[in-house]
Amino acid sequence: MKKTIFFDIDGVLYSSGEILPGAVEAFNSVQNKFNAVLLSNSVRKTKQEYCKQFLSDGFKVDVSQFCSVLDSAKRFLSGEAKDKKVCFFCREKVKKEFEKEGFSFVELQECDMVLLAFYPDMTWNNMNKVFQAVFLGAELVLIEGDKWGLAENGKVLGPGSIAGMIDNVCGCGFRVIGKPSKQFFENALKQFNAKPGHSVMVGDNYAVDIVGAANVGMKTIFVRSDVPQTFFGNPPSATVESAAEIKKVAEKMFVK
Ligand SMILES: [Mg+2]
C-alpha cells in the first residue's frame, strides 16, 4: 500500500505567492513512491484555482489531490449546524461560492452562530459586532484556527487571534473546523483512504500542522521557516530546512 504525504501549501511549497526553491521538483518526485495530497487551511482560493496555479507553475497535480477546508465547512454547515442561523465572516468571493451551492446566511443580529474565516478586511467595528453577538449567546466557530496569515498587504491577524480575544472577554470558548482540529485531519485521511500510521503531514506551522496531525497519529515533518514558533508537547517526527529534503526524510521514516 502506497504511503501518503500531506503537504501544507503556504510556507512549504510557496511563500507569499512565490514558489519556494526545490518545491516543484520535491513534490513531483515524491509521487513515484507516495500519494501526494495538498492539505491547506486557506480559504483564499478554491481547489480549481489552486490546481490551475500549480499546473502552470510546473507541479504534476490533479484537482482531486487538493483537500480544502471549505469542503469541511460545507460538511459542517449541512450536517451538525444545519439548523443554525449562521453569520459568515469571510471574503465576498468565498461567501458567494457557498451561496451558489444553496447555503444561506443571516446578519449578525439574527444569528446564533458566528462562522469566522480568514478575513483581511476585518475592522474594529466588525470585531465588536462579533463580540456582541457572542456575548448574547451565539456560538463562535472558526474555519481556520490560524492566529495570523499573509494578505496582499503583509501579515494580518487571523481568526484564531480574534476568537482568542473574544474568548478572553466572554469565556465563550470556540471550535475550529480546519487545521489543527482532529475532525479535519480524520476527514482528510478518510477522503484519501490513508491510514494515520502510513501518512506524513508536512507543514511549517508547529501548532497547526504538526500538533494537529500528531493528534490523530500521523507522522510529521516540520519545515523550518523564518516565522517564530512556540513549541509545546511532542516534537515533530523530523525537521527539514526546505521542501527539497522531504522525499529522503519521508522514505527513511517508513524503513523498518
Ligand atoms: Mg503553512
| DSSP assignments along the chain, one per residue | --EEEEEPSBTTTEETTEEPTTHHHHHHHHTTTEEEEEEE---SS-HHHHHHHHHHTT----GGGEEEHHHHHHHHHHTTTTTS-EEEES-HHHHHHHHHTT-----GGG-SEEEE---TT--HHHHHHHHHHHHTT-EEEES---SEEEETTEEEE-HHHHHHHHHHHH----EESSTT-HHHHHHHHHHTT--GGGEEEEES-IIIIIHHHHHTT-EEEEEP-SS-----SSPPSEEESSGGGHHHHHHHHT--
> Which tens digit of pLDDT belongs to each residue from 125-177?
999 999 999 999 999 999 988 888 777 777 788 899 999 999 999 999 999 99
pTM: 0.85
Distance 205 CA to ligand 1 centre (A): 5
The tens digit of pLDDT for each residue in 45-91 reads: 888 899 999 999 999 999 999 998 988 899 999 999 999 999 999 98
Cα of 93 to ligand 1 centre, how many Å?
Answer: 22
Whole-number pLDDT of residue 148: 82
C-alpha 7 – ligand 1 centre gap (Å): 9
Q: What is the whole-number distance in angstroms between the Cα of residue 14 and the centre of ligand 1?
A: 9
Residues measured by CB to lie within 5 Å of ligand 1, the ion: 8, 10-11, 204-205
Q: Which residue has the higher pLDDT, 167 or 233?
A: 167
- The CA 40 to ligand 1 mean position distance, Å, reads 8
Q: Is the pLDDT of residue 92 over 70?
A: yes
Fold of the domain spanning 3-69+179-253: Rossmann fold (3.40.50)
Ligand 1 centroid to residue 168 C-alpha, Å:
26
Average pLDDT, the chain: 92
Location of each CATH 3.40.50.1000 domain in the chain: 3-69+179-253, 84-176
Domain at 84-176, CATH from 3.30.70.270, 3.30.750.24, 3.40.50.1000, 3.20.20.70: 3.40.50.1000
pLDDT digits (tens, 9 = 90+) for 76-85: 999 999 999 9
- The CA 82 to ligand 1 mean position distance, Å, reads 30
Q: Ligand 1 centroid vs 240 CA: distance in angstroms?
A: 14
| CA of residue 15 to ligand 1 center, whole Å | 9
